[in-house]
Every structure is written in structure tokens, then in C-alpha cells.
Structure 1
Amino acid sequence: MIFISLLILIVAIALPSFQKNFSPILFTRLSSIIFIYAGVLSFNTLYIESIGSGLGIYSGLFHVTVTSQIMDTFLFIMASLILIAWPIINNSVLTVKNETVNKTNNLPQHKVGKAINPSTEYSLIVMFSTLGASLLMSCADLVSMYLSIELQSFGVYILSTLYRDSESATSAGLKYFLLGGLSSCIILLGSALIYSYTGLTNFESIYSLVSVSYSNQIIHGLTLGFILILIGLLFKIAAAPLHNWAPDVYDDSPTIVTIWLTIMPKISIIILLLELQSGISLSSEIELIESLKSINILSDLLSENIIYVLKNLLLISSLLSLIIGTVVGLAQTKIKRLLAYSTISHIGFILLALAINTEQSTESLIFYIIQYSFTNLNVFLIIIALGYLTHINKFNNGNYYGSNTDIRFISELKGQFFLNPVLSISLSICLFSMAGIPPLIGFFSKQFVLYSAVQSGYYFMSIVAILVSVISASYYLKIIRVLHTEENISTDKITNSNETNNSVLSNLHSFLISILTLSILLFILKPSIILNSTQLLSLSLFNF
């Protein structure tokens, strides 16, 4: 569906009639509708009874399962929300602003308002990246895995440098491209090692070889290959100690692109890691049964070596992500850098649940991904909204500083509660949820992960996770304190703010912020929809 839509849209863009009659805003809305329709199609295929434990397509390169279908639906919905929530400034306001700025500041017209209107390239690149993420969650072969990762990554590289007039965005995109290429090389090296030792690329065949292999050399080669693949994937999701690129790239990229960087690649790669670990563990259980029948202890020990090494790597990365994401985040003064370290801390919780690898931890992992995505999306949408409102207010008060509307420093949020009380309260609710304050949805996600860790005997990791949750609450509270700190603002400025608020943000943007905020706040009243879905997904992974 996404691929066919991409072909049609690429052909449509080349038509002269399309360029005359369709604005970039309409193109963005059309792309969002395509994502919604693709999500409905993915959800509808869940009723096909023949899927069972999975359905191999394209000669086994991809494996369609219940988990991949539901996460595809979630991925497409998130992509649609990011596109549909683009803040649109009223055309009359934009026209007046362009004319005034050109006369007063002598700026070229093509540079004014460029970060305000969406472009057709943005929607196309987002669709390419989403297609790669969707294929990545369904891949069942080393070749399809690498190609899907690259399709997703190349789209994200281009998104980082979408605003070519911005030096910081160009620098962020170049840095992301170089380091992302390094991580892709590590993944490719691991895949090559696995193929050189086994002669196989299909995951199911590799799992079967693990369960019957008695060769110490093959198992060591497989272990090294999986370690390299895991390191490359951890690099791409910015898990510590491979996180250094993330704060710089997130801070220098436009906020509308940062939303994509912090959500979409992480969903697909974490689901891939979950399916890889589930496959290896399942092959180990099959091997254990066979070894008990044949009393062959050597094969069991060799396979357990792979699981032991991968689990320890995940636990080490989880521990470092929790500590670094919390401690270093305390010293940040830029809001997107702070949220980048916050994301690293959340990745620590996700990797902890992934390393435990039980039915309960898998359920908590999927639930954590869902709530993290919604909360993170809402935080960035509110920051974008505040940035645009502040941008228009500066223009109205004679302090227009150009086309960049992003809020970069936490101090820029000072006094926003008195100018935009509803947005400030919504942002405070989201930050409290990220800190794990009950009864918000973020509290329950952390509680489920910690409960599964305690049940599985990971007491040290549980204590560390609790401590860093308490410490991380301080830098969330710092943002909330700045929001509610009164600034010396004249009555005229407040009046201008109230007059322009109605004409700046689109209704869809405001409506989406409201819905997401209420979902975070009122989750405790109707939690069964998400919890039942995550439980079914967890059971499907362990029963098949």
C-alpha cells in the first residue's frame, strides 16, 4: 500500500497540473490519509486465520506475524499523527509578515517563513522511511534486514538536512549520516560473519542450526555475528555507551524532524530486537528438550552461550543508559538536548525489559513503547506550538528574528504559563508522566518493567532504575518551574498573544495535543484496551 502510493505520488508531483492546484499542505494531509488507510489494512489482516504463527512472503525474506501486523498498524498511526499535526500559520498572517520583514530587515523572500510551510519532499521522505521501518519489523532474513535498515536510515538522514539554509541542520545531518553509516557497516559485518560460518541468511534456518549444531567454531562465529548486529542496532537507537551522536543531532535538527528521529526508528529496531531474541530463545528451548531426550549436554551449553552473551550486553547497555541519560541530563540547558538524554534513559528501561525476556517483561516492553511514543510525540508537538506562538509574538512586538521558530533553550519557556496556560499545563502533565508520577500512564509503564525485573531476580537493576527515576524527575521539574516562573510582561504583549493565538495553530494540531494529553491523564480510567493488546502480543510471541 505504501509502496504503490509512493509511486503514484512521485508521478503526480511531476505533472504541471499538480504543481498548480495542490499546495504542500494538502500533500502532507494526503500522505497522512494514506498512512491511516495503510494502518486500517494492516489491522484488517489480523482476521486472516491462516496467519497463525506467521506467514512467509517473498521467498521467506519477510515473515508476517500477529506482532508485526499490530506494530505496523501502530507505526502507521504514529506516522499519520506526526504528519497531520504540522502547525500551519494562517496565510493572511504569513503574507503580511513576509512583506513587513522584507521591507524592514531586507531579507530575501525565499528565506522568510521557510520553516513554517511543509514541503512535498518531507512527506515523500517520511513515507520512504516508514516503508523501511515497516519492512524491518517483518524481516526474516539478513539481507532483507540490512536493506530495510538502510531504507529507513537514508530517509532519516535526508530529513535531518531538509532545511538546507540552516547550518546547524546540515551539520546534524552530516554527523548523523557518518555515524549511521558506521553502525550500518557494523551490522553488515555481523551479517557477513554469520553467513561465512553457516552459509545461511534466513533467520529460521539459523535458529534451527543453533538448535542442532555441535560445532564450537560455528557457535562462536554465530555469537560474534549476533554481537556485532546487536551493537549496530543499539547504536541506531542511541543506547549508551553508543549515544554521543544523539544529543547533538536532536538539538541541531528542526523540531518537526526531531519528532521523527526520537520515535519511528526506535519502534522498528526494538521490535526487531524483540523478535530476534524470541527466535534465539525458542530455538534454545527446542534444543533443551532434544538434549534431554538424547542426553546431549554439549549442544545445550553452546546455544546457552549465545543467549548469555546477548543478555549481558543488553543489561550493560541498559545500566549505562539509565545512569548516563539521567546524570548528564541534569546539566543540560537546551531543551532538545535534555529530551535526548531523557530518551536515552527511557531506552534503558526498554532494554531492561528486553533483556529479561519473559512473557511479563515482553508485555511491559510493548506497553512502554506505546506510552513512550505517545508522550514523546505530545511533548514535541507542544514545544513546536509554543515555538510558533512565541515566534509570532516576537514579530508583533517588533522583534522578529528570522524564519527559525524552534525553541532551543529551556529559558525561552519562561512565563509561558501566563501567555499560554493550556499548552503549559499539557506540557507539565506530559513531563510528570515521563518522570513516572502516578496516576499518569508513564508511572504504570515503569512499574510494569520494574515488577517484571523483580520477579525475575534482577534486584540490582531494579534499584538502579528506581533511583534514576527519582533523580530524573528533577530535570523535568526544572522545565515545569521555568514554565510557571513569572516574567515581566506588559499587558499589551499579553493582549497581542491572545489575539494571535487563534490564527496561528491549525485545529488539527490543537485537537491532537488535547487528545494525547487526556489519554495520558485519564489512562487509569480505561486501561484495558492497551493492556489486553500488549498481553495478547506477549503470549503470541511465546506460544508460537
Structure 2
Amino acid sequence: MLFISILFLIMVMAIPSLKGRVPPILFQRLSTIILIYAGALSLNALYIQSIGSGIGIYSGLFHVTLISQFIEIFIYIIGSAILIARALPVYVKITETLKKEFSYKYSIEYSLLIMFSTIGASLLISSSNLISMYLSIELQSFAVYILSTLYRNSESATSAGLKYFLLGSLASCFILLGSGLIYTFSGLTNLESIYNLISVSQSSNIIQGIALGFIFIFAGFLLKVAAAPLHNWAPDVYDDSPTLVTIWLTIMPKISILIFILEVFTQITSVSPILESIEISLVLGSLEGMQGLGINTIKYLLLISSLFSLIIGTVVGLAQIRIKRLLAYSTISHIGFILLALAINSKQSIDSFIFYIIQYTLTNLNTFLILLAIGYILNNKTIYKKGVLIATNIGKDIKYISEFKGIFFSNPILSISLTICLLSMAGTPPLLGFFSKQFVLYSAIESGYYFMSISGILVSIISASYYLRIIRILHTEIDLNKSLNDMGEVPASLPDIQSSGQGNSHLTNTKVGISNIHSLTISSLTLLILFFIFKPSILLKSTQLLSLSIFTN
């Protein structure tokens, strides 16, 4: 469905008679409808009776299971919500010249790249072969690389895209190296066959090579999801990319990669208990005799990465003054909780793993949608010289936390919505984020991971400080006289102010509001986060069924 739709959109873009005549907003709406329809088709596929044990398609390259179908539907819904946020803001007293100058001239390419990345994500979560896995992750990654550099006139966006491309290529090299090692020692590319070989093989050399290959693959995926200590690229890329691109970077690639890691890790550990007593030596160059536990090394890799992510994401986040860098470190901290739930690998922990991913996605999506809306409303100045538009910053991204000062007094609804999202990220009861952290920590304590549990509790308390700092700034009244004297410009909270400038130029504030669909999406997500406690059964039962489906297959 998605592949045919992408071909159709490319064909429409290539027709000379239609080039430049089809409004970009039409491509955005059409792409949104396509994603919603694809989600409906995936939902209908859940009624297939034999899907519980999984269905192999395309000669075993892909394996459709209950969890892959559920997450695929979730990806399509989130993708359509992000595309809806691309809608143009509503203007009052705005000229046609300003509309042309506004930075939304890449809507066609944006929608197309979102479609490419979505199809790569949906293929990755169903991959059951090393070849299909690598092609799917590259299809998703290449679209995101281009998406990062979509605003070609922005120097920071170009820098972010280049950094993301180089480090993403390094991660792909790790994945390819691991795949090559597995094929060298097993002669297989089908993951199911590799699992069977692990369970019956008596050769420590084969197990050693396969384990080393999976370690490289997992390291590559951890680099792609910005798990510490492989996180250094994330704050720079998130901060330099436009907010519309950052939404996609911080949500969609992580969902597909984490679900794929879940499927591979649970399958490996299900066939590896008989190998726990086998000690193997990893021969790396001249280093011989290094003792390890083979397949179990992956579990320790996840636990170490989880601990580093919790600590670094929390401690370094305290010193941030730029909002997207702070949210990047917040994301790293959340990845730490997700990896902890995955490493425990019990029915309850996998349940909390899936629930945390859903909670993280909804909360982050709502937070960035609110940042977009605040950017539309605050940054609404246009500069005219002799009646000609020479500059505009409508839609310019929010960069610094200090820019939130006084938002509550100019727009209390958006301020309250952002406050709810931040409190949910901090794990404040009874919001959605509290339950996700509670489930992870409870499963860790139940499985005997007391040190990790204590670490998770401490970093949750510490991280609440930088969320509360943003909330304090939101509800701090702005001093208009100080803004006029110290900053030398008209504050955005004063509508319709003009100030004379040198050379017959003047600065004008243009009234800007967000679209109805954008506001509806924000309000719906905020109410879901706020009132989850009153009807939690639907989501909780769904995640429990998905967790059970993994362990019963």
C-alpha cells in the first residue's frame, strides 16, 4: 500500500504539466490519508486467525506477528499525526508576499520523505532475515538523513544532517560487520535458522562467532537510538534540526529499532539458557583468552548502556539552556528505562517495555507539537523596508528555555498543556509517565535488579528539577519594560506593534494562530496523558497481550 502510494506521488511530481500547480498542502493531506488507510488495513489483518504464531512472507524475509502488526498500526497513526502538524498556521492580516516567503516551500519533499521513512520502519519491525533487516534500516535511515538537511538554506540544519549521516553510517557499518560475522560462522541469513543453530550447536567456535556478530549488531542499533555512551551525536543533531524534523528523529526511528531489538533479544535468550555455563574466548587481534558468557554478553551490554543512559541523560541535562538539547538528554534518560526493561526480559518487564515506548512516543509528540505552536505564536515578527518585505521569522523555532518566559500569561492553554507533558516526563502521579516508570522499576525489583532500581529512582528525582525549571519559567511574568530596554526589540507578546527604524524600515508583529487540526491533536494527547488513570484497561490489556504473545510463541 505505502510502496504503491509513494510511486504514485513521485509520478505526480514528475509530470511537467502538474509541476508547480499542485499545492503542497494537498500532498500533505494525501500522505496523511494514505497513512491512516494503511493503518486501517493493518488493523484488519489482526483478525487473521493464524497470525498468533506468525506468518512468513516473501520467502521468509519478513515475519508478521501480533506485535509487529500492532506496532505498525501505531507507527502509521503517529506518522499521520506528525504530518498533520505540518499544516500551515492561521494568519490574520497577512500578505501573499509573506505566504510565499514563509518557510514551508518543502512540503512536497517533506511528505515524501516521511512516507519513505515510514515504510522502512514498518519493514524493519517485521524483518526476519539479516538482508531484509539491513535494507530496511538503511531505507529508514537514508530518508531521515535527507530530512535533516531538508532546509538547504539553513547552515545549522546542513551541519546536523551531515553529522547524523556520518555517525549513522558508522552505526550501519557495525550492523553490517555483525551480519557478516554471523554469516561467516553459520552460513545462514535467516534469523529463525540462526536461533535453531544456536540451540543445537555443540561447537563453541560457532556460538562465539554468532555471539560476537550479534554484539556488533546491537551496538550499531544502540548508536542509532542514541543510547549512552553512544549518544554524543543526538543533542547536536536535535538542536540544529528544524523542530518539525526533530519530532521525527526523536520518535519514529526509535520505535522500529527498539521493537526489532526486542524480537531478536527475546528469541536469542529463549534458546540460550543451555549455553549459560559455556565459557568462550573472544579472539580480537592479539588479545586471546578473554573470557565471557557468549550470548549472555548482550544482556550485560544492554544493562551497561541502560545505566550510562540514566546517569548521563539526567546529569548532563541539568546544565542545558537550550530546549531541544535538554529534550535530547531527556530522551537519552528515557532510553535508559526502556533498555532496563528489555534487559530484564520477563513477561512483566516486556509488558512495561512496550507500555513505556507508547507513553514516550505520545508524550514526546505532544511536547514537540506544543513547541511548534509556541514558535508560531511567539516568533511572529516581519520587517519591511520602504513597503517591501525583507525578513520574517514567523515559524522560527524556539531555541532557548528563557524564551518561554511569560507564556502562561499570553497563552495559558498551551502553557498548561506543556506543563502536563513535562510533569509526565518527570514521572509525576497520576499522569501517564508515572505508570510507565513505575512498571519498569517494579519489574526490576521483582527480578532482583536492586542497584538498577535505586539508580532509576534517583535519576527520576534529579531529572524532575530541570522539568520544574521549565515550568517555573513558563509561569514567570515577563517584564515588558526590561524587554524593551535590554533587548532593544518589540516583545512578541505585544500584538500589532510597529516601531520605526533606520532607513524607513519598520518591524511589525503579525497575529498568528495554529490550525484547528493542530490544536485538536494537542488537546487530545494532553487529555490522554492527564486522564489515563480513569480508563487504563484498554492500553494495559493490549500491552499484556503483546507481552504474552512473545513468550508463548
Please name the residue that 2:530 is paired with. 521
Q: Are 2:313 and 2:332, in contact at CA under 8 Å, matched by a contact in 1? A: yes
Q: Select 1:345's aligned residue among 330, 333, 354.
A: 333
1:433 and 2:442 equivalent?
no
Deviations 1:345-384 (A, max 9, x none): 0000000000000100000000000010000000000001
Please name the residue that 2:495 is paired with. 496
> SS state of the match for residue 19, structure 2?
helix
Q: Are 2:208 and 2:281, in contact at CA under 8 Å, matched by a contact in 1? A: no
Deviations 1:193-216 (A, max 9, x none): 000011001000000000011111
> SS state of the match for residue 51, structure 2?
coil
Identity %: 64
Alignment of 1:90-109 (within 5 A): 90=90, 93-95=93-95, 98=98
Listed as ranges, the gaps of 5+ residues in structure 2 are 283-291, 482-489, 498-508
Alignment of 1:358-377 (within 5 A): 358-377=346-365
Deviations 1:5-56 (A, max 9, x none): 1011111122245435531112111101100010111111010112231111
Q: Give the Cα–Cα distance (whole angstroms) in 2 for the partners of residues 482 and 399 of structure 1.
A: 32
Q: Give the Cα–Cα distance (whole angstroms) in 2 for the partners of residues 29 and 283 of structure 1.
A: 46
Q: Are 1:368 and 1:446, in contact at CA under 8 Å, matched by a contact in 2? A: yes
Q: Select 2:218's aligned residue among 227, 230, 236.
A: 230
Q: Are 1:419 and 1:497, in contact at CA under 8 Å, matched by a contact in 2? A: no
Using a 3 Å threshold, how does the CA distance of structure 1 residues 502 and 35 change in structure 2: closer, same or farther? farther
Counterpart of 2:521, as a letter, is L
Using a 3 Å threshold, how does the CA distance of structure 1 residues 174 and 21 change in structure 2: closer, same or farther? same
Q: Give the Cα–Cα distance (whole angstroms) in 1 for the partners of residues 139 and 491 of structure 2.
A: 51
Deviations 1:53-83 (A, max 9, x none): 1111111000000010000000110100000
> SS state of the match for residue 63, structure 1?
strand
Please name the residue that 1:413 is paired with. 404
Please name the residue that 1:78 is paired with. 78
Deviations 1:145-183 (A, max 9, x none): 000010000000000000000000000000000010011
Alignment of 1:118-157 (within 5 A): 119-157=107-145
Q: Are 1:393 and 1:497, in contact at CA under 8 Å, matched by a contact in 2? A: no
Using a 3 Å threshold, how does the CA distance of structure 1 residues 48 and 373 change in structure 2: closer, same or farther? same
Q: Are 1:334 and 1:408, in contact at CA under 8 Å, matched by a contact in 2? A: yes
| Pairwise CA distance, 1:504 | 2.5
Q: Are 2:495 and 2:511, in contact at CA under 8 Å, matched by a contact in 1? A: no
Q: Select 1:539's aligned residue among 519, 528, 548.
A: 548
Deviations 1:481-509 (A, max 9, x none): 111111123899756289x9985311100
Q: Give the Cα–Cα distance (whole angstroms) in 2 for the partners of residues 43 and 175 of structure 1.
A: 37
Using a 3 Å threshold, how does the CA distance of structure 1 residues 91 and 240 change in structure 2: closer, same or farther? same
Alignment of 1:261-300 (within 5 A): 261-284=249-272
Q: Are 1:213 and 1:299, in contact at CA under 8 Å, matched by a contact in 2? A: no
1:506 and 2:515 equivalent?
yes
Using a 3 Å threshold, how does the CA distance of structure 1 residues 49 and 389 change in structure 2: closer, same or farther? same
Q: Give the Cα–Cα distance (whole angstroms) in 1 for the partners of residues 232 and 271 of structure 2.
A: 35
Please name the residue that 2:414 is paired with. 423
Please name the residue that 2:506 is paired with. none
| Pairwise CA distance, 1:325 | 0.1
Q: Give the Cα–Cα distance (whole angstroms) in 2 for the partners of residues 534 and 352 of structure 1.
A: 17
Structure with more helix by fraction: 1
Q: Give the Cα–Cα distance (whole angstroms) in 2 for the partners of residues 501 and 385 of structure 1.
A: 15
Q: Are 1:88 and 1:504, in contact at CA under 8 Å, matched by a contact in 2? A: no
Deviations 1:194-242 (A, max 9, x none): 0001100100000000001111111110111011001000000000000
Structure with more strand by fraction: 2
Counterpart of 1:530, as a letter, is L
| Pairwise CA distance, 1:94 | 4.6
In the superposition, the TM-score normalised over structure 2's length comes to 0.90
Q: Give the Cα–Cα distance (whole angstroms) in 2 for the partners of residues 515 and 85 of structure 1.
A: 13
Deviations 1:247-303 (A, max 9, x none): 000000000000000000000000000000111122236x58xx9xxxxx769999x
Q: Give the Cα–Cα distance (whole angstroms) in 1 for the partners of residues 471 and 344 of structure 2.
A: 34
Q: Give the Cα–Cα distance (whole angstroms) in 2 for the partners of residues 219 and 93 of structure 1.
A: 69
Q: Are 1:214 and 1:298, in contact at CA under 8 Å, matched by a contact in 2? A: no
> SS state of the match for residue 63, structure 2?
strand
- Could you list the structure 1 runs, at least 4 aligned residues long, displaced by more than 4 angstroms after superposition: 91-94, 297-302, 393-396, 398-401, 490-495, 500-503
Q: Are 1:28 and 1:118, in contact at CA under 8 Å, matched by a contact in 2? A: no
Deviations 1:415-453 (A, max 9, x none): 111111100110000000000000000000000000000
Q: Are 1:94 and 1:113, in contact at CA under 8 Å, matched by a contact in 2? A: no
Using a 3 Å threshold, how does the CA distance of structure 1 residues 174 and 301 change in structure 2: closer, same or farther? closer
Please name the residue that 1:62 is paired with. 62
1:159 and 2:147 equivalent?
yes
In the superposition, the TM-score normalised over structure 1's length comes to 0.91
Counterpart of 1:10, as a letter, is I
Most deviating of 208-217 and 81-90: 81-90
Deviations 1:463-489 (A, max 9, x none): 000000000000001111111111123
Q: Are 2:379 and 2:492, in contact at CA under 8 Å, matched by a contact in 1? A: no
